[in-house]
Structure formats: C-alpha cells, structure tokens
Amino acid sequence: MILPRHLILLLLILPTLLLSESAINCPNVPKQEIDSNLQQYVVFLKPPNLLGAIGNLVEHVLLLVICLGREIIPLKPGVGLFGNGPIDLNVIVDLSIAGTGFSIYTGFFNPDFVENVLKKRSDIDIIEPIIPTKADSVIPPYYINLKKRTTQTSAPYNLDRIDQKTFPLDGKYSYPTNAGSGSNVFVVDTGIDISNVEFEGRASFGGTFCGNCSSTDDHGHGTNVAGIIGGKRFGVAKKTKLIAIKVLNQNGQGTSATLVAGLSYVISKHKNSSNKNTIVNLSISAPSSQAINKIVTDAINAGIHVVVSAGDAGQDACNFSPSSVSGVIAVGSTEKSSNTVSSFSNTGNCVTLYAPGRDIIAAGAGQSNALSQASGTSQSCPHAAGTVALIISKSGNKSPSSMKSSLVSLATKGILNKNPNVFLRVPAP
C-alpha cells in the first residue's frame, strides 16, 4: 500500500496505473539489469513544486510500481525498516517527512539500472548506496558497581568539569534550577533502557528503525548516552525528557538508511508537536554521506538542534558524517584529568567545541539500577545536548544557528591543545 498522504497523487495517476507497461514507456532495460545483483540505496527526490515536477513524480512512482514491480509501503516505527524477518527485495519503504509527499525512500536496485536510468532522471536529488553507521565509543559501555555510592555525595568529574573554567575541580556541579525542563531530547542510538531509575520516568520509547531490532537497548550505548544527557545523578539536564529512537542494533551498528528513517520520524514528530524545544543527540559516525547530511540539514532547517559526536578516528571531522554538516553542534573529546584533547577524537574546523569523553559513568542497560562506563566522542556529545536543554529551560528556545552561537559564547576559550580551542561550559544557575 502507499501512504494516505499520497491519495491525491494516486487519484491523478490511477488512470495511468490501469495502462500496460508499454503504455507508460518503461525503460528498455534487460530483465537481469532490474532484478539481479540488487543493492540497497537511499533516494531523495526534488520537491515537486511545479506542475512539470509533479508530472515527474507521477512518472517516478509509475516507474517503481509498474515497470519494476515494486511495492511502496509506509515506514512502521515499531517493526524496523523492512519489518522483522527476511527482507523483501521488491519492497520500497517510504521515508518521507510528514507533509512532503513522496520525497525520500529506500529500496533495492541493480547498480547498472541506477547509473543508466535513475541517476539520469531530473527529479532525483540524491541517490546513494547505503553505508554503515556505528556508535562513537572507543571503549564501549561496560557495567560497574557503585554500591558504596548509593547516594551521590559529590559530582562525577565530567559534570564538575563543565561548570568551571579549568582544573582543579571543586567537587560540585552547579546548573540552572529548571534543569532542562520543557525540552525533549531524541536519542538516536541503540535505544534506551527506560526502566533505569536514573531516568525517573522521563524516558520513553519513540521507535525502532533497524531490521530485526527489539524496542529495548540490547547494547547499552544509547542508555549510557541518555544517562549523560538527563540522568538524575549523572546527567547534565536532570529534568529533560528523553525519547529513544533506535537505529543501531545490538552490536552498535546500523546503516545510512536506518539513520535517515529515524531522523525523518523525528522531524515529522517535531512538525506535528506544539512543543518545539526539540534536540537530537547523534553519538553516531559514518563515512561522508550525502544522504545523512541531507536529512540532518532537513532537521536543522525544521528548527531542531542537532548535536553530534565529532568521531573517534583521530582525523579531520570534516571527512565524516554527520559531523561535516555546517549547522550541527559537533563535539570532540577531552581527557579526564587535563585540558588535553583525546588522541582518538576527531578535530578540525568542523568541530564546534570539546567536552569530557574519557571514563564517563552514567545509566546502564539491563537492570533498573545499572550503571555503565564508556569513553569516546559518543560520551562528549551528550554533554552538549544536555547543555542545550539547560539553555532552553533557562533562557527560552532559539534558532539552531543562534543556539550554536550561544553555546560557543558560554564556552571556555584558550585552554586546550587543539583547535577549535573551545571547551563546553553550562550556564550558571
């Protein structure tokens, strides 16, 4: 079936759908070029804002449905991208943002057909093979025992570090009393164990977009990240709401298609919500990708604050996605006991600022009182996402570009050993 929002389009093309394959001028392509050696692609179409472009869209849908014999189905957040079980290679999943019609999709095509037919169409904006995505932790979350600290008697070092200019630490974490209240942080990751007591009922499940993935966090990365953003003891913004968007599997791996699907869902939710205090945390990295950068840009243009990890390759962050998107807040990592940028952290002009990323303790998955420790720019990133929530609750929301400027303005300058020489700092109480 095709999504209900395509009803008008269907009414336009219904007479043509009744015609034969030859009547709609299907490309004269050998059968083996259509159905063999299939690879998954992500496709963005140009907006059909002119009558001619609408005609191209109608023709595009006919090409997929009539000529290729594909079935277009809506995205179903609860069952993954292609549902659970074996993938049907004849299915195309509509990933479009609400209100944009049929504009983004993923499906399986022969590479020659892509080169000889699809890429030559004037209505194609981006068509790209899927690429792998992964969680940005050099030391993945592992469980720790803090039974001797059932009550937090002093702030963990990373929170203590971001409320003051430099060392030595004073053992305190000072932050605005609203503590992120009224903001919503979508944690696009491996999921969140929403039963963890660190979240006090403020975490909820949004959707699953990776194939054969459960709705729980069966890896631990997303729960640790969410705990840094908004845990009651180990979180930056202790009153923010956290929504789990699962795009990475139990191994902390996904694809550009699952990421596009998850972000499309978030943008749609944001557009349809009266609360526009939306933040996205992307502690995820991938090789440079037009598709990833496009959907992230769409999120920013919709008014969403997108905070991303700089990446853990020890290279230029501009060579990776989504850290190469100009409008994101890209966060690199610093060490535990010095103002030194971590050797694993990506650096360069695409990094906005740095935050602690070594040995970060936060909520863990699997048990309601679990804690975990991890290292990476994945752990640096949520410090900044939580800080955005603090700014919103204290001073009100603003555009993504203004928020990025505010974050840099608050930050400490001139204390690091790498550029940009900017270190995260939370607003004063």
pLDDT digit string (tens) for the chain, length 429 residues: 344 444 444 444 445 444 444 457 788 888 777 888 999 999 999 987 654 566 678 889 999 999 999 999 999 887 788 877 888 999 999 999 998 889 999 999 999 999 999 999 999 999 999 999 999 998 877 777 654 332 334 799 999 999 999 999 999 999 999 999 999 999 999 999 999 999 999 999 999 999 889 999 999 999 999 999 999 999 999 999 999 999 999 999 999 999 999 999 999 999 999 999 999 999 999 999 999 999 999 999 999 999 999 999 999 999 999 999 999 999 999 999 999 999 999 999 999 999 999 999 999 999 999 999 999 999 999 999 999 999 999 999 999 999 999 999 999 999 999 999 999 999 999
Give the type of residue at 148. Answer: K
d(CA 351, CA 330): 5
Q: What is the pLDDT of residue 52?
A: 56
Give the type of residue at 10. Answer: L
d(CA 380, CA 310): 9
- Is 183 found in the same domain as 124? no
CA atoms within 13 A on the CB side of 334: 27
Q: What is the pLDDT of residue 279?
A: 99
**In this structure, is residue 428 part of a structural domain?**
no
**In this structure, is residue 429 part of a structural domain?**
no
Q: What is the pLDDT of residue 327?
A: 98
- Choose the final residue of a domain: 71, 102, 129: 129
- Is 350 found in the same domain as 229? yes
Q: What is the pLDDT of residue 20?
A: 43
Q: List the catalytic residues.
A: 189, 221, 378
**In this structure, is residue 409 part of a structural domain?**
yes
What's the CATH number where 296 sits?
3.40.50.200
- Is 204 found in the same domain as 106? no
- Is 138 found in the same domain as 125? no
Of all helices (H) and strands (E), which one includes residue 402?
A: helix 400-410
pTM of the model: 0.93
Structure tokens at 346: 């990506």
Which residues contact residue 402 at a Cβ distance below 8 angstroms, ignoring those fewer than 6 apart?
none
The boundaries of the domain holding residue 267 are: 134-423
CA atoms within 13 A on the CB side of 173: 23
Q: State the total domains in the chain.
A: 2
- Is 162 found in the same domain as 94? no
- Is 410 found in the same domain as 330? yes
**In this structure, is residue 185 part of a structural domain?**
yes
